[in-house]
Amino acid sequence: LLSVIIPARNERYLQKTIENVLENIKGDTEIIVVLDGYWPEEPIKDHPRVNIIHHSGSRGQRASINEAARIAKGEYIMKLD
């Protein structure tokens, strides 16, 4: 299993990034998106391969990555910025 971690704060192209990962990385893969700060809506709705963590306040990229890595189920972890 590959865990793809995407920390995000005010990312304009987050939805497109998630869609591209889903289209291009096949097989046993999970995507963990950490929304750091205010987001008016989720970037993707109810996808079985996508886990979204939402921080109501800003915690920073390092804290977001560490939190995602703790819950990752994969043997390998890939971080996308």
> Taking a C-beta distance cutoff of 8 angstroms, is the pair 81, 14 a contact?
no
The predicted model gives 5-23 an average pLDDT of: 91
pLDDT, residue 44, reads 83
List of E strands, 1-81: 2-8, 29-36, 50-55, 76-79
The predicted model gives 38-54 an average pLDDT of: 87
The predicted model gives 7-26 an average pLDDT of: 90
What domains, with CATH codes, occur in the chain?
2-79 (3.90.550.10)
For residue 74, pLDDT over 80 is answered with yes
The predicted model gives 41-64 an average pLDDT of: 89
The predicted model gives 35-48 an average pLDDT of: 84
Question: Model-level pTM?
Answer: 0.90
